[in-house]
Structure 1
Amino acid sequence: MRFQKIFVLAGCAALLYMSHRAYGWPGLAAAGGGLLMWLLLHFTRLMTILQRAAHRPIGYVDSAVMLNAKLRPGVTLMHVVAMTRSLGERLSDENVQPEVYRWRDNGDSFVTADFQDGKLQRWKLDRPAPADADPVAPQAGGPTP
């Protein structure tokens, strides 16, 4: 993950350098404006996701089963927050890897997710045990004893 950050920074610096070399100060201003616009778009997306999550209880999701079906290894914590529209309930200590979060629905099903460096590594769906059911009733159309 650290290499990705280094490559993005190096790419931005190379873009600024090449635009200045090719077009002078106007090229540098255009490339800098483009990079600033890119940063502002990401910032706006982040703030929109967090604003939506602020209006819901921590650790709540509409359906834990649907969340389980949508999760994929490697997605970021911000992507999961965007899917659930809720901040996860933190189960791990602060600044300890892996970070463990839980999202619960109204049926007491919950998804527990482990994030290593902000990327989803593994998750588990837990559903409540079914209540003791009545003895099996005979099916319609079959012989009855």
Structure 2
Amino acid sequence: MNLQKIFVPVVCLLLLGGAWRSYGWQGVALVGGGLMMWVLLHYTRLLTILKRAADRPIGFVASAVMLNAKLRKGMTLMHVIAMTRSLGALQSPKDEQPEFYRWTDGGDSQVTCEFRGGKLVGWTLLRPSPEPDPAPGEAPPAP
């Protein structure tokens, strides 16, 4: 079970209760205003990330190799979307765990990320194999 889903509301209630005990309604108004500002800051950040991602093609990243180097276990899907500035192309069935998202760059390198409960648990980098150079005196293959 995700402890954060319980911990954050309990801390908020404790803060509101402590404010009530210490300063009455004025304390509740002050702490409530601070909590509302915190929620609005997170909401604004979420909308900014999604607005930037909406301007790019789904599943596209400037460099899959650089994305691979920046990824760390435990990152949230929102953090990865903020890094890539693009929504990932969903590779797994919708609303099933684990979720797999893929980002591809212009050179056909791909990073496939695995998320469980919105947290990054693993990823793989797939790079296309380079075409062999023709031997001297041989004609290059026809397209």
Q: Same fold (TM over 0.5)?
A: yes
Aligned to 1:115: 115
Could you tell me how far apart the structure 1 residues matched to 2:15 and 2:99 are?
35
Q: Helix, strand or coil for the counterpart of 2:124? A: strand
Aligned to 2:40: 40
Runs of 4+ in 1 over 3 A off after TM superposition: none
Deviation at 1:57, TM superposition (A): 0.1
Larger radius of gyration: 1
1:54 matches 2:54: yes
Could you tell me how far apart the structure 1 residues matched to 2:119 and 2:133 are?
40
Aligned to 1:132: 132
Q: Helix, strand or coil for the counterpart of 1:112? A: strand
Aligned to 1:15: 15
Aligned to 2:140: none
Deviation at 1:132, TM superposition (A): 1.6
* Structure 2, unaligned runs of 5 or more: 137-143
1:28-107 to structure 2, matched below 5 A, reads: 28-107=28-107
Q: Percent identity?
A: 61
| Equivalent residue letter for 2:5 | K
RMSD over aligned CA atoms reads 1.0
Deviation at 1:50, TM superposition (A): 0.2
* Structure 1, unaligned runs of 5 or more: 137-145
* Count of aligned residue pairs for this structure pair: 136
Deviations 1:8-62 (A, max 9, x none): 1100000000001100000000000000000000000000000000000000000
Q: Helix, strand or coil for the counterpart of 1:68? A: helix
Aligned to 1:25: 25
